[in-house]
Each structure stands twice: as C-alpha cells, then as structure tokens.
Amino acid sequence: MLMRLLLQFPEGLKQYALEYAKKLESEGNEVVISASPTFGACDLALDEMRHVKADKLIHYGHAEFHHVDANVEYVPFSLDADLSILERSLPSVAQYKKIGLVTTIQHIHQLDDIKRFYEEHGKEVVIGKPHGFAKQNGQILGCDIGSASGIDRQVDAFVYFGGGIFHPLGALLQTTKPFLVVEPFRNSIEFIDKYRDIYKKRSRGKVLASLDAKRFGIMVSTKNGQHNMALGTMLKNRIEKQGLQAAILVANTFDFDALNNMMEFDAFVNTACPRIAIDDTDRLRKPLLSANELVEVLSFKSEAAKQQV
C-alpha cells in the first residue's frame, strides 16, 4: 500500500534524510521530511504529521519510547563500533570484580560480545533491566537510567560503552560506584566520577539562589513523551499554598532567550525532559530547578517561616 510518509531524523542522522526519502519515493510513496529538531523518541513530529496528513510517521534513530495514538514506525540505528578498545580498558577495571555494563540503543546488538569479553578476562558482568521508557536490558536513555541504578548495589563499578557522555552522565548522577566511559569513536577511556561532585554543588547552588524567590515559572512541555501537566499543576498549587506566586509556561521546545525575557520570574521549574534542569542551567539568568530541587527550596522556606513565628 502506497502512503504519504513523514520522516523524522535526530540531528546526527539528518545527513541521511534525502537518501532515505528517495528510496521510499522510488517505491511509489509520497515523502515529506521533518526539519524540526528532535531530542529523541519522546519528541515525535506528531503536529507535522497531522498538518501534512501523513499516513505514517517513520522515526529514525530511536526505539519506541511509549505508546502514542498515531501510526508511528520506529527504526533504531545500530552502529558497529570497534570493540578492540576494550582491551585498553582492562587496566582501568583491574581492581573491580563485578562490572555493571550499560550502553545505548545504537550498541545494544554488541552488548553480548562486550559482556563476553570482560567475562573472558575474569570479570563478573551484570546487565540491569530498564525501569521506564528504555526497552532493552542494559540500555540507558537520558531520562531512563534504570538499567544502571537498579544494579548499583550489586556491582563494584560501571562500564558504559558508546559515544559521548550525555547518556552516562544521567546514569552517573543516580548511582554511587566508579563509572568508566569507553568511547570507541574518540578512542578514549576515562572515569567521569568527578561530575558527581560538580553537579551536586551546582544543584546546591541553585537551591540556595532560589531561597528568596517569590515568583516561579513552571515549564510544561507539549512534547508527546515529556508532557506532564499534572506535575506542573501540583507544583503550582504547592508553591501558592506557601503564599508565593507561580504560573505554568507551555511550549513545545523551550527557547531560553524567550524565558530570559520573562524577567518577572525569580526562578524557573522544569517538568519536561529531566535533563533540562541538569544540562541547561547556564542558559538562564535565573535559577532553573528540577521538581525535587523546588521541593527542597519550599522546605527551606517553610522552616524559615516557622522560625520567624
């Protein structure tokens, strides 16, 4: 059956958009390409799909995030990274008997080979199960690190195999053990444990900077996998119960220049992708809090108010 297709690619795969479009067109389909940025399977081009009346959205690069009421086909992108770098990682994990192994969807198909390598070198390898949006054992997302946090007590150290530190950083902040990143594309091997203290101090700084805040902007995303109006409303009510002001700010993709123009707010609270409050704090002039950091701020304010009575 020939269809009108909407193709969506993450930034790293947009270079292949025309190639894939032409292949599908050669099969008789009508093809449209989404030019919008996408941050993962939580960010499907559903609005574009409706506007162009596409029969199907084909989302490349990610596995299914959660069910949506639309005809969506997910096409994960697998990368065959050179595993020879594992040999160089052995001195780094020499003192650890049990290793927790994690990766991204791009390397899930190589996970068994990586596990076998470490086992052949005397390591006990533990691969955890995801808790939320991730679908494969050992897989981590920026917002779902259950495959790591769920085995934190069982292992002596973690090994992440894959590109960059975006994904392992999220896992690092929710675990306590040494965390080694084996990066086959940059040919680098390094422990990233130092970031635990850096981000802990940064979080503490944001909380302290928000103690005098009286007006909060609560960021609620309309993205299919990030929308959480219930949490935004609950936080707004909680803020207002303490005699403070709050407003819910809605956007699909938050423009930080636009938020900086909202100078009435003393602090912002993120309910969208949890990584925004971790990775994008420097893009705002005012503190950018996670929901948990807001609760901490309100708790401090409540205790201070009691002491003044």
| 12 in any annotated domain | yes
Residue at a domain's end among 165, 192, 219: 192
Query: In the chain, which ranges are continuous DSSP H helix?
Result: 17-26, 46-51, 85-89, 111-120, 146-149, 166-172, 194-209, 229-241, 256-260, 276-279, 291-308
Verify that 123 and 153 share a domain, yes or no.
yes
Among candidates 179, 172, 180, 206, which has minimal Cα distance to 280?
206
Quick one: average pLDDT of 110-136?
93
Rounded to a whole number of angstroms, the distance between the first and last alpha carbons of the chain is: 73
Checking 64-73 for CB contacts under 8 A at 24+ apart, the result is 64/135, 65/40, 65/41, 65/133, 65/225, 66/133, 66/225, 68/44, 68/224, 70/44, 70/46, 72/44
pLDDT for the residue 183: 96
Predicted confidence (pLDDT) per residue in 240-275, tens digit: 999 999 999 999 999 999 999 999 999 999 999 988
Q: Are residues 181 and 275 located together in one domain of the fold?
A: no
The token pair at 31 is: 């093809």
Q: pTM for this one? A: 0.87
Mean pLDDT, the chain, as a whole number? 94
- Looking at the 3D structure of the chain, how many domains does it have? 3
> Tokens standing for 258?
């636009």
The enclosing domain of 246 has a CATH number of 3.40.50.11860
More confident residue, 67 or 26: 26
Same domain? For 220 and 187 the reply is no
* Residue 190 to residue 160: CA distance in whole angstroms: 10
State the residue range of the domain holding 63.
4-75
Tell whether 163 is covered by a domain.
yes
Both 132 and 214 in one domain: the answer is no
Would you say residue 211 lies in a domain?
A: yes
Q: What is the pLDDT of residues 127-149, one digit of tens each?
A: 999 887 788 899 998 888 899 99
Write the CB contacts of 260 (distance below 8 Å, at least 6 apart in sequence): 284, 285, 286
pLDDT tens figures, 1-16: 689 999 999 988 899 9
Query: In this predicted structure, what is the pLDDT of residue 304?
Result: 76
Check residue 190 and give its pLDDT: 97
**What is the per-residue pLDDT for 309?**
58
Residues 189-227: tens digit of each pLDDT: 999 999 999 999 999 999 999 999 999 999 999 998 899
Q: Does position 77 have pLDDT exceeding 90, yes or no? A: no
